[in-house]
Amino acid sequence: MDIKENYTAIKNQLPADVQLVAVSKTHPVEAVQEVYDLGQKVFGENKVQELMEKHPLLPQDIQWHLIGHLQTNKVKYIAPFIDTIQSVDSEKLLAEISKEAGKCSRTVKVLLQVKIAAEESKFGLEIQDAKTLFQQYIDGEFPNVEIKGLMGMATFTDDEDQIKREFLILKQLFDELNQLKSLETLSMGMSDDFPTAIECGANSVRVGSAIFGRRDYSK
């Protein structure tokens, strides 16, 4: 399978109202360009350094999403151009994004990343902290960000019931916060679990290896 076949197959599986974020981390700009030329405009990267290298080499109308853990001291580098930061996992980070976005006279879209996986390794806000942060946002504390929704990653497991349970926890929180102030985006699901995520209410999925092929971390 090549990238074009992969991309077309994924697009054909996605309902029309589900957004695809093509996760291009570790893959060269030529591969990103190839998918862009097929009509894809939304791409995700997980590292600021890699995003900074790719951004100037690719079409300027790409909507870049940062999906990996973001350190506050790196926000300033991406604030001028980032479309959405999906990985907001602390109040400190949200405050920094709002500050740096303000300096660029921008409003940056963000998702709150919530920890739903059982694994210790995954980043994300605890449910209660996400609620508190959303209330602070409603109260006007972060004027230069727009919280668009929630992002979460399920446990890396073959146990489909567990994955479903975790996704449904995030869907429930999404519905609850949506009552307070309307939200648009529920970002759940990757190459291996996006059909399950969509079943559980995701309307945005982050797909990397199923489009670009396996990542080679040895390089």
Ligand X SMILES: *Cc1c(COP(=O)(O)O)cnc(C)c1O
**Where along the sequence are the contacts to ligand X (CB under 6 A)?**
23, 25, 46, 67-68, 153, 190-192, 206-210
Q: Which pair of structure tokens corresponds to residue 90?
A: 């602390």
Minimum CB distance to ligand X, residue 187 (Å) = 8
Minimum CB distance to ligand X, residue 46 (Å) = 4
* Distance (Å, whole) CA 206 – CA 191: 7
Q: Which is nearer to ligand X, 53 or 180 (CB)?
A: 53
Q: Which is nearer to ligand X, 119 or 138 (CB)?
A: 119
* Distance (Å, whole) CA 17 – CA 76: 32
DSSP 63-74: EEEE-S---GGG
Q: For residue 153, which of 31, 14, 46, 33 has the smallest C-alpha distance? A: 46
Contact 86, 42 (CB under 8 A): no
Nearest residue by C-beta to ligand X?
208
Q: Which is nearer to ligand X, 91 or 192 (CB)?
A: 192
Minimum CB distance to ligand X, residue 193 (Å) = 8
Query: H-helix or E-strand containing 150?
Result: strand 145-152
Q: Which is nearer to ligand X, 25 or 171 (CB)?
A: 25
Minimum CB distance to ligand X, residue 195 (Å) = 12
